[in-house]
């Protein structure tokens, strides 16, 4: 089946703001939730489709990719060009690949602007961004994950020079090794001389005539660096974890950059999260609402008993203290808030009808039942029959 357009799924314009997308998602999620549509096999699929669309459109970077490449973005092959073409960032981007929205990991590299190493002083390494998608259960418990962080390091074959071993980069003839060229422009105010990076050598002052076959003359290669990422309990979508020093190595003895992990918690089938509180909808019968009851409700840590007090009203919220999400980096937890829907039975057996009619008669409420039926009930109540 053809995949539906994400904007269509959410029913918003392509120019919709983040807020409009969020609103559309919330109202549709309420409608399509499988619990709201028992017995409808398609509901689950629609709910999944909705969440998938929202996961992409809520994230400006993923949305931009989707706008450019559509659903094909997930399978986009490595870009054209390859090493040596374009600037450093796009070279790396091609190697790193965009692994698709469905992957747990998608990695975006930041801080690579500025391109290749200038012959300036020590430079701090670039920061890395890592988008980590986790479940609500994982967010509650915290998790440890080993991950390979790709880093750009000096090519070991050419020692980072980019020149084939045994050869050396040559001084750029255009700028005579300075990396800067003068440009003279004629303007209405007279001649203007500006200095800018040399176009021939891209400001490096050297050119490589015989490139290293391993790195294609870039002087850098990608190496994985394994780290253990610790995600503390209580993280939420938008939580950013900083792992100092786990980014790109510095240049010329500069310090390494940092790794930033952005958390995205997937929507849960049963619970809706609001900060540290979890919300749950639960249906109860009219007798349970009137008389009170003890119900078993799911929590993240297994089942719990919820006391429904007598006289509970439709829409009332009942709170299970401490059964929500743990607070991030402090003790304690939020609450589980159960919103009670009172279900009025729509199909009644003859016996149930009798009992309800008797109940109505007791309270002096008029009800719509045939005269014959009512008479029977009245007779039964008065002890006749």
Q: List contacts with Zn ion (CB under 5 A).
A: 155, 157-158, 172, 174-175, 198, 200-201, 212, 214-215
Least distance from C-beta 224 to Zn ion, angstroms?
18
- Residue 181 or 248: the one with the smaller Cβ distance to Zn ion is 181
* Min CB(195)–Zn ion separation in Å: 12
Paired strand residues for 123:
251
Rank residues 44 and 174 by Cβ distance to Zn ion and give the closer one: 174
Residue among 237, 264, 236 nearest 334 (CA): 236
Angstrom distance (rounded) from CA 74 to CA 3? 12
**Minimum Å distance from CB 123 to Zn ion?**
20
Coil vs helix vs strand at 366: coil
In terms of CB distance, is 9 or 155 closer to Zn ion? 155
Looking at the Cβ atoms of 145 and 164, the one nearer to Zn ion is 164
List Cβ neighbours of 129 (8 Å cut-off, separation of 6 or more).
Answer: 107, 108, 109, 110, 259, 260, 262
Instruction: Closer to Zn ion by CB, 9 or 251: give it.
Output: 251
Structure tokens given for 34? 């499988």
> Whole-number minimum distance, CB 248 to Zn ion, in Å?
17
274 touches 136 (CB < 8 A): no
The rounded distance, in Å, linking the Cα atoms of 77 and 62 is 16
Q: Shortest distance, CB of residue 212 to Zn ion, whole angstroms?
A: 3
Closest CA to 51 of 108, 136, 122, 120: 136
SS3 assignment for 79-137: CCCCCCCCCHHHHHHHHHCCCCCCCCEEEEECCCCCCCCCCCCCECCCCEEEEEEECHH
CB 62 within 8 A of CB 101: yes
The least CB distance from residue 151 to Zn ion, in Å, is: 16
CB of 247 to Zn ion, least distance (A): 22
Closest to Zn ion by CB, 201 or 231: 201
**Residue (165 or 314) nearer to Zn ion, CB:** 165
Pick 66 or 91: Cβ nearer Zn ion: 91
Give min distance, CB of 216 to Zn ion, in A. 8
- 277's CB contacts (< 8 A; 6+ apart) are 324, 325, 334, 335, 336, 337
Contact 70, 63 (CB under 8 A): no
């Amino acid at each position: 089946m053809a995949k539906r357009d994400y904007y269509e799924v959410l029913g918003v314009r392509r120019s919709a703001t983040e807020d409009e997308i969020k609103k559309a998602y919330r109202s549709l999620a309420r409608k399509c939730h499988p619990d709201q549509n028992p017995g409808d096999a398609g509901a689950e699929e629609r709910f999944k489709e909705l969440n998938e669309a929202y996961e992409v459109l809520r994230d400006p970077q993923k949305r931009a990719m989707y706008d450019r490449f559509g659903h094909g973005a997930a399978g986009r092959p490595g870009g054209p060009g390859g090493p040596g073409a374009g600037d450093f960032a796009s070279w790396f981007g091609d190697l790193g690949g965009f692994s698709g929205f469905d992957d747990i990991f998608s990695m975006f590299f930041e801080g690579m602007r500025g391109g290749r190493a200038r012959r300036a002083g020590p430079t701090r390494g670039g920061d890395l961004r890592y988008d980590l998608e986790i479940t609500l259960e994982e967010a509650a418990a915290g998790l440890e994950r080993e991950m390979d962080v790709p880093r750009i390091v000096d090519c070991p074959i050419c020692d980072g020079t980019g020149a084939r071993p045994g050869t050396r980069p040559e001084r750029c003839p255009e700028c005579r090794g300075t990396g800067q060229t003068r440009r003279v422009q004629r303007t209405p105010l007279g001649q203007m001389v500006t200095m800018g990076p040399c176009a021939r050598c891209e400001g490096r002052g050297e050119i490589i005539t015989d490139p290293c076959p391993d790195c294609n003359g870039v002087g850098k290669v990608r190496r994985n660096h394994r780290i253990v990422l610790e995600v503390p309990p209580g993280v939420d979508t938008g939580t950013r974890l900083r792992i100092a020093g786990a980014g790109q190595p510095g240049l010329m003895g500069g310090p390494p950059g940092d790794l930033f992990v952005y958390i995205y918690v997937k929507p849960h089938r049963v619970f809706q999260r609001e900060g540290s509180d979890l919300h749950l909808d639960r249906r109860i019968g009219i007798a349970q609402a009137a008389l009170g009851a003890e119900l078993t409700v799911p929590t993240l840590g297994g089942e719990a008993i919820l006391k429904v007090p007598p006289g509970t009203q439709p829409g009332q919220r009942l709170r299970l203290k401490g059964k929500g999400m743990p607070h991030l980096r402090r003790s304690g937890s939020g609450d589980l808030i159960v919103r009670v829907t009172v279900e009025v039975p729509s199909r009644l057996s003859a016996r149930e009808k009798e009992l309800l009619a008797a109940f109505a008669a007791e309270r002096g409420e008029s009800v719509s039942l045939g005269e014959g039926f009512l008479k029977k009930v009245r007779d039964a109540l008065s002890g006749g029959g």
